[in-house]
């Protein structure tokens, strides 16, 4: 084991350096603003997701404040942990130097992981808990030591508190163990002990969901209506082919589990792969949900390739070198290692007639927030003392509300009011709203709610996403409707 540590450290260092360059560029992503905002309201659940990301956000704020660079260290460290675990899995199943090297390299060249391990979202931690769970499953299948079964259960339970999709992995592992060692696993009392421990960990979140009428089901319904319904029958499969070489390695690893006698003890992991794949395909999951399965099969694929090229060092190292060189060209598409002007040239993006540049949605979602907050700040500080005391800052969506919290901190702005997503949970504030500054709310709504209103500014940004362009800022007075009175009724619209 020790002889592999310098190699694993070197691979981890490469990933860290790339992220240290890219993590600090552009700005906060819409989802990052939400996740930092909910960290101010620690609870056992939220409208859109479980509580783990809020806890990490709280830790980030404690250590770094509202720091873009500091916040993004956490998903980056999760990504590095995934790389280390992938190498460790390769070692556990009998891999040597080449298998360990290739396992780590596969994490480095899989371009979607750079995006996943950049943004402060549950995705990076979800992939970490999947990989950790597979690591403990490998250890359990290899040693029959029940402590690894308990560790597996705890990993799955904490992963459930991060992202509910890990429930698919839990069910798939149980089915695969029943298929491969039914009598043995059913009679194992530690399986039931593990179940009790795991259920105790997730119970507070389940209670929260019950108390709030299972908002996660409403969220899934809206997600299905807005996004998943547009996914074609074979899109899930075709999207896996966007990175063809890495997917081929995954398939090699899958076949190796079923047909290599040396690793036949891990057959339940192969069955788990098949169940997860078809479950996610049937549920029309986003393709990147399935990426959480890739690391363990990178390890198995690397093990098999090492065996195939055991006496062909030149071919092996040439293949690895070519893959690294080719893949690194695409890194700027997934993580902002280039300044935005350089990136625009790199992608040969031409301006639209209105001067805007159409970036990928993730990159576009990192621009425009600072400008919005600056304009709201200028309006707020133009108010009299009395007007400030009764003022509400009303945001249209969670990105705008999150920007007013995270970026508005340095302007000493009051906390915004927003009925979108988890922001609805925190209510309409304590002020009367006789004076209201709105951000992103259209005139059709403004004129229904206020007697007196003035358009202060329509915000444009050449790099921002469509949703955050042509954003109106109104100064409104004399409300026709008391926001506190109608607030409970807005619960049915939190995901609109």
Mean pLDDT of the 348-377 span: 93
Q: Are 466 and 359 in contact (CB under 8 A)?
A: no
Q: How far apart are CA 414 and CA 437, in angstroms?
A: 11
For residue 266, the 8-state DSSP code is: G
Question: What tokens appear for 121 in the block?
Answer: 């979202």
What are 276's two structure tokens?
């997860």
Task: State the DSSP H helix or E strand holding residue 437, giving kind and residue range, or none if neither.
Answer: strand 435-439
Report the C-alpha gap between 199 and 196 in whole angstroms: 5
The two structure tokens encoding residue 46:
């939220």
Output the pLDDT for position 230: 65
Place of tokens 């070197």: 10
Q: pLDDT, tens digit, for every residue of 468-493?
A: 999 999 999 999 988 888 999 888 88
Q: What is the per-residue DSSP string for 385-432? A: HHHHHTEEEEESSHHHHHHHHHTGGGGTPPPPB--SGGGGGG-S-SS-
pLDDT higher than 80, residue 1:
no
Q: Is the pLDDT of residue 106 over 70?
A: yes
Determine what percent of the chain is predicted with pLDDT higher than 90. Answer: 83
Q: What is the pLDDT of residue 331?
A: 94
Identify the pLDDT of residue 439: 97
| pLDDT for 228 | 58
What are 225-256's pLDDT values in tens digits? 766 556 777 788 888 888 888 999 999 999 99
Q: Does the pLDDT at position 38 exceed 90?
A: yes
Selection from 220, 168, 170 nearest residue 49 by Cα: 220
Query: Which residues make Cβ contacts (< 8 Å) with residue 9, sequence separation at least 6?
Result: none
Lowest mean pLDDT among 17-21, 50-54, 227-231, 257-261: 227-231
The average confidence (pLDDT) of the chain is: 93
Please check whether residue 481 is in contact with residue 449, taking contact to mean a CB–CB distance below 8 angstroms.
Answer: yes
Which segment of 14-28, 32-46, 318-332 scores lowest on mean pLDDT?
318-332
Residues 417-429 have pLDDT tens digits of: 999 999 999 999 8
- Residue 272: per-residue pLDDT: 97
What is the pLDDT, as a whole number, of residue 496? 79
Q: Looking at residue 237, what is its pLDDT?
A: 85
The SS3 call for residue 164 is coil
Return the pLDDT at 176.
Answer: 96
Q: Is 187 exposed, middle or buried (0-12, 13-18, 19+ CB in 10 A)?
A: exposed
Instruction: Tell me what pLDDT residue 227 has.
Output: 62
């Amino acid at each position: 084991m020790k002889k592999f540590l310098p190699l694993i450290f070197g691979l981890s260092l490469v990933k860290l350096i790339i992220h240290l360059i890219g993590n600090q560029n552009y700005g906060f992503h819409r989802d990052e603003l939400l996740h930092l905002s909910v960290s101010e309201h620690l609870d056992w659940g939220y409208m859109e997701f479980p509580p783990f990301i809020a806890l990490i956000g709280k830790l980030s704020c404690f250590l770094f404040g509202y720091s873009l660079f500091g916040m993004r260290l956490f998903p980056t460290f999760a990504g590095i942990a995934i790389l280390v675990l992938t190498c460790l899995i390769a070692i556990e199943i009998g891999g040597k130097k080449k298998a360990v090297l290739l396992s780590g390299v596969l994490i480095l060249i899989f371009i979607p992981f750079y995006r996943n391990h950049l943004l402060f979202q549950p995705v990076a931690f979800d992939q970490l808990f999947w990989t950790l769970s597979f690591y403990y499953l490998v250890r359990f299948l290899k040693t029959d030591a029940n402590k690894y079964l308990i560790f597996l259960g705890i990993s799955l339970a904490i992963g459930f508190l991060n992202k509910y999709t890990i429930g698919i992995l839990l069910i798939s592992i149980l089915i695969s163990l029943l298929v491969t060692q039914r009598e043995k696993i059913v009679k194992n009392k530690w399986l039931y002990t593990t179940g009790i421990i795991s259920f105790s960990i997730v119970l507070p979140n389940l209670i929260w969901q019950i108390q709030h009428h299972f908002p996660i089901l409403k969220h899934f319904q809206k997600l299905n209506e807005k996004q998943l319904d547009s996914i074609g029958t074979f899109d899930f499969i075709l999207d896996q082919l966007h990175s063809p070489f890495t997917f081929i390695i995954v398939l090699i690893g899958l076949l190796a589990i079923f047909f290599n006698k040396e690793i036949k003890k891990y057959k339940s992991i192969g069955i788990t792969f098949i169940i997860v794949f078809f479950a996610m395909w049937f549920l029309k999951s986003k393709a990147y949900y399935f990426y959480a399965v890739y690391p363990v099969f990178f390890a198995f694929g690397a093990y098999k390739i090492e065996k195939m090229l055991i006496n062909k060092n030149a071919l092996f190292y040439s293949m690895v070198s070519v893959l690294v060189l080719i893949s690194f060209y695409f890194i700027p598409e997934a993580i902002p290692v280039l300044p935005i002007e350089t990136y625009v040239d790199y992608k040969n993006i031409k301006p639209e007639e209105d001067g805007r540049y159409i970036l990928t949605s993730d990159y576009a979602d990192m621009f425009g927030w600072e400008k919005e907050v600056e304009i709201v700040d200028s309006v707020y500080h133009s108010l009299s003392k009395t007007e400030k005391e009764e003022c509400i800052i009303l945001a249209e969506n969670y990105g705008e509300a999150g920007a007013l919290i995270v970026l508005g901190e340095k302007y000493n702005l009051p906390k915004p009011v927003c009925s979108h997503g988890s922001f609805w949970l925190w209510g309409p504030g304590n002020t009367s709203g006789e004076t209201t500054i709105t951000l992103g709310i259209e005139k059709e709504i403004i004129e229904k709610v206020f007697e007196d209103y003035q358009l202060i500014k329509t915000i444009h940004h050449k790099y921002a996403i469509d949703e955050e362009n042509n954003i109106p800022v109104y100064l409104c007075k004399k409300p026709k409707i008391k926001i506190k009175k109608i607030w409970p009724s807005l619960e049915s619209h939190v995901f609109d």
